Amino acid sequence: MRHSMETSPISFEVTISHLPKRGMPVTIEANEVERASLAKIHGLVSVGRLRADLVVTSWKRNGVQVRGRVEADIVQSCVVTLEPVAGKVDEEVSAVFLPEDSKLGRESFGLGGEILIDVDGPDSPETFSGDRIDVGALAEEFFGLGIDPYPRKQGASVPPPEAAAAPEPEEGALQKKLRKLFPDS
């Protein structure tokens, strides 16, 4: 989640104190202003469409799980030619949140506690305070993860360096003297 004081352009807070048993479905469709803001924040030429379909459910005793998908049509600048390149973002969203005062959180992340991390496994839970979670900010986080960091227009390549030989540096006075003293080297 964002750690700054700014809120996401697609901020959507969910009250988690009374979630339905089957979970709360949330659909976020970014409007034109939100898409322009997302493009600016993420260094894109434009965001043509962004949709997040999420389900917020209770997890264990007092945690919250968010699952779903974020899809977007974006335009980026080619890293070689700087021409526009159309792209897509299609990211699966999966996150678990625990209250800051959760016993589960203290046991897993407390001082002296050992944490085993599986690189291919799920991310460790994030913490929250109060009774609201911004699932829009979470959707934006996964949107950002799905952006190609090096977009390249089809067929674009970096030209090979020129094979022109660099001019020989001029011989200094010391080098001339050394060559006279040691002509065979």
Task: Look at residue 162 in the predicted model and tell me its pLDDT.
Answer: 65
Which pTM was predicted? 0.73
Is the CB of residue 152 less than 8 Å from the CB of residue 78? Answer: yes
Confirm if 102 and 127 have CB atoms less than 8 A apart. Answer: yes
State the DSSP code for 127. E
pLDDT of residue 110 exceeding 50, the answer is no
76, 84 contact by CB (below 8 A): yes
> What is the three-class DSSP state of 20?
coil
**pLDDT band at 1; cut points 50, 70, 90:** very low
pLDDT score recorded for residue 123:
66
Give the residue, 81 or 37, on which the prediction is more confident: 37
Which is nearest to 91 in space by CA: 68, 111, 66, 61? 68
Domain residue extents for the chain: 13-158
Beta bridge partners of 29: 51
Residue 179's pLDDT is 76
Contact criterion met (CB below 8 Å) for 173 and 38: no
**What DSSP designation does 166 have?**
P
Evaluate if residue 40 carries a pLDDT over 90: yes
